Amino acid sequence: MTAYAIANLWALTMGPEIVRYVEQIDETLAPFGGRFAVHGSRTDVREGEFAGDVIVVEFPDRESATGWYESDAYQAIVPLRTRNSAGWVVIVDGVDDHHHATDILSAA
């Protein structure tokens, strides 16, 4: 099942380290089948408070998403981002094409 790495980044300091991070991240995603689904698009906040940028990377499955995040190649560039921004990153499973909102009731 598809999995996603989702990040919310704020207080970004655009400089040489962020540029290097952006220039190198695609090559860390490729071996794991990762692709950007959302990357810094304009956010239209409808409820609550929100700041920063949303990044969503799609992977074929959770194993691939976790493998990417824990890979030596990605971990080598993480400090370029974390030294120059605040934020969080999560990995979540997607749902299949037949999912309905009520499906979560049977899991509860």
Distance CA 102, CA 99 (A): 8
Domain that residue 84 falls in = 3-107
DSSP state of 44: -
Residue 90: give its domain's CATH number. Answer: 3.30.70.100
- Domains of the chain: total: 1
pLDDT, one tens digit per residue, over 10-56 is 999 999 999 999 999 999 999 999 999 999 888 999 999 999 999 99
Contact indicator for 81, 3 with CB cutoff of 8 Å: no
pTM for this structure? 0.94
Q: What percent of the chain has pLDDT over 70?
A: 100
Which of 28, 51, 52 has the alpha carbon at shortest distance from 40?
A: 52
7: part of which helix (H) or strand (E)?
strand 3-10
pLDDT, one tens digit per residue, over 52-103 is 999 999 999 999 999 999 999 999 999 999 999 999 999 999 999 999 999 9
